[in-house]
């Protein structure tokens, strides 16, 4: 390499704030994980689709995306005048934005292409999304989501299958044990009504209930009072939800709900019972993924406003928050298509599981150490001989200190080496593993 300074000051070469470069070992690990998830999902008939990273800005600010809509990277129109007119808002200059999730694009995709899609349609999406969040440790402004969705299936088969596929996918990546928690938005609505909350204030009530995990009953009750729900509502909420949450199993919980929450439709409890039954049978099936537990949990809320039925949260003991989540959103496709299409999906938090997944570090195969003085054609042929058997062979120019070089190659992930002499390969020798193991 040329050691000459070239007279240019060193620039800041970091990627944009909140984003990151991915080095080869990390990309290997991520691609291996993606491969496992894809294979697991394909077995269930989910098929990958892709949509553009950019969507019309109106679609990214329709209100469906909740808080995420505030975090959109907005793209300037092309061909603007060189000076902005007086009184212009920055938003007037924008026509596109980077997608903040994969669900908004999916509903547009389905509405755009449904004539060519089977019914029901099982979609798989793996790709980057962008949110201009305040950068913090472990959170990035570009990150990968991995979603499966079933569109056009009104029955609870969709829910049960999505959960089974996700549990299988996580198990195939070694992400175990997982706890699946299931609830239903309609049960939450009936609980709110049973506790004295009017329909108009239900969302606000659920936002507070959703914090139970973090702030406990004293916190939830204080916040309900602070938000003017009154002490009676707060006390009743604690009583009802605690009774429901202390059920010994799903059947017990659903029986208690029938009793304590008179407004809940039989269909809702029946649906939850079906999902719980499917999970129970899955757990006992030797062909199913092991290492998971499940519960019907009346305290699961899920933030997004578009859910209309069952909702899910999958947790792992080593992950803060959930490793996957989702639910039924029967109203969302209709807003694009103009007719209702039932839909249900689960999204794996790819960035949360990538460190939990058990992935062997990549093996780089044979380092073929050559001498720059040797004839090029002979060197290339020698490497080709090794590759002919489908093995990886990487040409590496010989350094003066071969021992130190071999140590470096071992750390890099090579498992063996060959030294070329005059373009002829010597004996292949193993490199002692000097690499931190993955997992």
**CB of residue 28 vs its own copies: minimum separation in angstroms?**
7
> Quick one: which of 20, 139, 239, 429 contacts its own copies (CB under 8 A)?
20
Restricting to residues 223-262, name those near its own copies by CB under 8 A.
none
Q: Please report which residue ranges of 173-230 form alpha helices under DSSP H.
A: 185-194, 202-209, 212-226
How many CA atoms lie less than 13 Å away from 244 in the CB half-sphere?
25
**CB of residue 386 vs its own copies: minimum separation in angstroms?**
9
Restricting to residues 71-130, name those near its own copies by CB under 8 A.
73-76, 78, 80-84, 86-90, 93-94, 96, 98, 108-109, 111-113, 116-120, 122, 128, 130
**CB of residue 102 vs its own copies: minimum separation in angstroms?**
13
Restricting to residues 350-379, name those near its own copies by CB under 8 A.
364, 372, 376-377, 379
> Quick one: which of 3, 63, 138, 317 contacts its own copies (CB under 8 A)?
3
Restricting to residues 388-407, name those near its own copies by CB under 8 A.
388, 390-397
Question: What is the C-alpha separation between 224 and 417, in angstroms, rounded?
Answer: 67
| Closest of 124, 108, 113 to residue 34, by C-alpha | 124
**CB of residue 343 vs its own copies: minimum separation in angstroms?**
10
Closer residue to its own copies in complex, CB, 79/317: 79
Residue 436 interacts with its own copies (CB under 8 A): yes or no: no
> Which one of the spans 253-261, 282-290, 296-304, 306-314 is the region binding its own copies (CB under 8 A)?
282-290
> Which one of the spans 176-184, 196-204, 231-239, 330-338 is the region binding its own copies (CB under 8 A)?
330-338
> Quick one: which of 160, 167, 197, 233 contacts its own copies (CB under 8 A)?
160
| Closest of 178, 391, 166, 157 to residue 275, by C-alpha | 157
CA distances from 320 to 132, 185, 316, 362 (A): 21, 23, 8, 28
Closer residue to its own copies in complex, CB, 290/340: 340
> Which one of the spans 16-24, 169-177, 308-316, 349-357 is the region binding its own copies (CB under 8 A)?
16-24
**284 Ramachandran zone, left/alpha/beta (phi>0; psi -120 to 50):** alpha
Q: Which residues contact 156 (CB under 8 A, 6 or more apart)?
A: 271, 274, 275, 278, 310
**CB of residue 114 vs its own copies: minimum separation in angstroms?**
9
- CA trace torsion 7, 8, 10, 11 (10° rounding): 180
Closer residue to its own copies in complex, CB, 38/194: 38
Question: What is the C-alpha separation between 183 and 269, in angstroms, rounded?
Answer: 10
Closer residue to its own copies in complex, CB, 174/423: 423
Residue 132 interacts with its own copies (CB under 8 A): yes or no: yes
Residue 61 interacts with its own copies (CB under 8 A): yes or no: no
CA end-to-end distance (rounded Å), the chain? 36
> Which one of the spans 10-18, 212-220, 241-249, 256-264 is the region binding its own copies (CB under 8 A)?
10-18
The radius of gyration of the chain's CA atoms, rounded to the nearest angstrom, is: 27
Residue 16 interacts with its own copies (CB under 8 A): yes or no: yes
Residue 265 interacts with its own copies (CB under 8 A): yes or no: no
Sign of CA dihedral 386, 391, 394, 399: negative
Closer residue to its own copies in complex, CB, 22/430: 22
> Which one of the spans 207-215, 241-249, 337-345, 419-427 is the region binding its own copies (CB under 8 A)?
337-345
**CB of residue 62 vs its own copies: minimum separation in angstroms?**
10
Closer residue to its own copies in complex, CB, 69/236: 69
> Quick one: which of 288, 305, 361, 423 contacts its own copies (CB under 8 A)?
288
Sign of CA dihedral 213, 217, 219, 220: positive
Number of residues in contact with its own copies under rule CB under 8 A: 120
Closer residue to its own copies in complex, CB, 75/245: 75
Name the residue with tokens 């997004």. 304
Q: Which residues contact 237 (CB under 8 A, 6 or more apart)?
A: 191, 195, 205, 209, 220, 221, 224
165 token code pair:
């596929």
**CB of residue 391 vs its own copies: minimum separation in angstroms?**
7
Q: What is the maximum alpha-carbon separation in the chain?
A: 89
Residue 438 interacts with its own copies (CB under 8 A): yes or no: no
Closer residue to its own copies in complex, CB, 284/437: 284
The answer to whether residues 382 and 420 touch, using CB atoms and an 8 Å cutoff, is yes
The answer to whether residues 113 and 355 touch, using CB atoms and an 8 Å cutoff, is no
Restricting to residues 162-181, name those near its own copies by CB under 8 A.
164
| Closest of 367, 402, 407, 372 to residue 386, by C-alpha | 367
């Amino acid at each position: 390499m040329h050691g000459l300074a070239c007279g240019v000051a060193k620039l800041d070469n970091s990627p944009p704030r909140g984003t990151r470069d991915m080095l080869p070992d990390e990309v290997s690990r991520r691609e291996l994980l993606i491969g496992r998830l894809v294979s697991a999902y394909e077995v269930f008939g989910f098929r990958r689709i892709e949509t553009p990273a950019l969507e019309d800005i109106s679609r990214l600010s329709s209100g469906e995306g909740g808080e995420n809509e505030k975090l959109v990277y907005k793209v300037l129109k092309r061909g603007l005048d060189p000076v902005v007119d007086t009184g212009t808002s920055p938003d007037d200059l924008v026509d596109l934005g980077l997608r903040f999730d994969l669900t908004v694009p999916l509903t547009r995709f389905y509405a755009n292409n449904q004539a060519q899609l089977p019914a029901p349609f099982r979609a798989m999406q793996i790709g980057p999304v962008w949110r201009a969040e305040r950068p913090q440790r472990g959170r990035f402004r570009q990150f990968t989501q991995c979603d499966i969705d079933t569109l056009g299936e009104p029955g609870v088969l969709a829910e049960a299958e999505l959960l089974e596929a996700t549990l299988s996918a996580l198990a195939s990546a070694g992400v175990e044990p997982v706890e699946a928690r299931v609830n239903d938005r309609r049960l939450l609505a009936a609980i709110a009504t049973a506790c004295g909350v009017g329909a108009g204030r239900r969302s606000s009530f659920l936002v507070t209930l959703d914090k139970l995990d973090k702030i406990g009953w004293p916190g939830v009750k204080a916040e309900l009072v602070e938000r003017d729900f009154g002490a009676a509502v707060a006390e009743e909420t604690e009583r009802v939800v605690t009774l429901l949450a202390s059920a010994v199993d799903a059947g017990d919980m659903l029986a208690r709900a029938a009793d304590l929450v008179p407004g809940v439709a039989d269909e809702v409890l029946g649906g939850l019972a079906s999902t719980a039954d499917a999970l129970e049978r899955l757990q006992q099936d030797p062909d199913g993924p092991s290492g998971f537990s499940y519960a019907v949990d009346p305290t699961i809320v899920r933030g997004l406003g578009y859910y209309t039925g069952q909702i899910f949260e999958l947790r792992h003991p080593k992950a803060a928050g959930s490793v996957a989540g989702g639910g039924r959103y029967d109203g969302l496709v209709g807003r694009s298509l103009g007719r209702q299409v039932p839909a249900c999906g689960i999204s794996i938090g790819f960035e949360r599981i990538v460190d939990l997944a058990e992935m062997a570090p990549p093996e780089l195969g044979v380092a073929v150490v050559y001498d720059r003085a040797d004839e090029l054609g002979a060197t290339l042929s020698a490497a080709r001989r090794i590759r002919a058997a489908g093995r990886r062979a990487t040409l590496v120019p010989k350094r003066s200190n071969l021992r130190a070089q071999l140590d470096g190659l071992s750390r890099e992930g090579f498992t063996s080496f060959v030294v070329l002499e005059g373009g002829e390969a010597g004996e292949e020798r193993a490199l002692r593993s000097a690499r931190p193991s993955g997992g």
